[in-house]
Amino acid sequence: MFNIRKERQEDERRVEAIAREAFWNLYFPGCHEHYAIHQLRKHEDYLPELSWVIEVDGELAGGIFYSNSKIVDGEESVDTITFGPVFIDPKYHRQGLGRHLITHSIEHAKSLGYRAILTLGYPYHYEPYGFVGGKRYDISMPDGQYYKGLLVLPLYEGALEGVRGIAVFTEGMEVEEAEVEAFDATFPKKQKEVLPSQREYEFVSTELDES
């Protein structure tokens, strides 16, 4: 039986450890998501009202974290929100827990009146929730390119009507490699490896939307 609830202070270290397990060697050797969460909680863009953890039979099994983002067009900007990282302990994979977390958070965001969600990821992961490529709304990354991995979900009818520009994400998720290494050293040692999933990530993260 699963339960979705707010993260408590006493959960933080365990949540970071789960994120580390979930992302380790997935996108590159090692990972930085556990430290990014640690830093994001202290940043002004962090949205605790939209960030959740999920339990299975009382045991923490994953989480989703939200932050402020925006769509910028010259001197004009429109406020949006972004989720990521979202993760499930590998031992609970393929049980639908990630789907429950994402759906729960989207519905809560709608109830709070947020305009739209921007996220970065694999299209096939997020299209089932209604996300589409940023190109559909003339929303690009800061380099002006339309990448397939930039995904957009309006949260109400007409939310992005007349909106265009570049996606700008929080600096709260930006980390320095030396800081990541120092933080990671406080956890049990894990072996960094080169895996096929990293090559897939590299390809998807640079694939342009030419539709």
Q: Helix (H, G, I), strand (E, B), or coil: what is residue 209?
A: coil
Confidence of residue 169 (pLDDT cuts 50, 70, 90): very high
- With 90 as the cut, is the pLDDT of residue 147 above it? yes
- With 90 as the cut, is the pLDDT of residue 204 above it? no
Confidence of residue 211 (pLDDT cuts 50, 70, 90): confident
d(CA 35, CA 37): 5
Kindly report, residue by residue over 67-109, the tens digit of the pLDDT. 999 999 999 999 999 999 999 999 999 999 999 999 999 999 9
Kindly report, residue by residue over 99-143, the tens digit of the pLDDT. 999 999 999 999 999 999 999 999 999 999 999 999 999 999 999
d(CA 20, CA 147): 26
Is the distance from CB of 153 to CB of 129 less than 8 angstroms?
yes
Cis status, amide bond into 85, omega within 30 of 0:
yes
- With 90 as the cut, is the pLDDT of residue 44 above it? yes
Please give the class, per CATH, of domain 2-171+190-206. Answer: alpha beta
Is the distance from CB of 117 to CB of 80 less than 8 angstroms?
yes
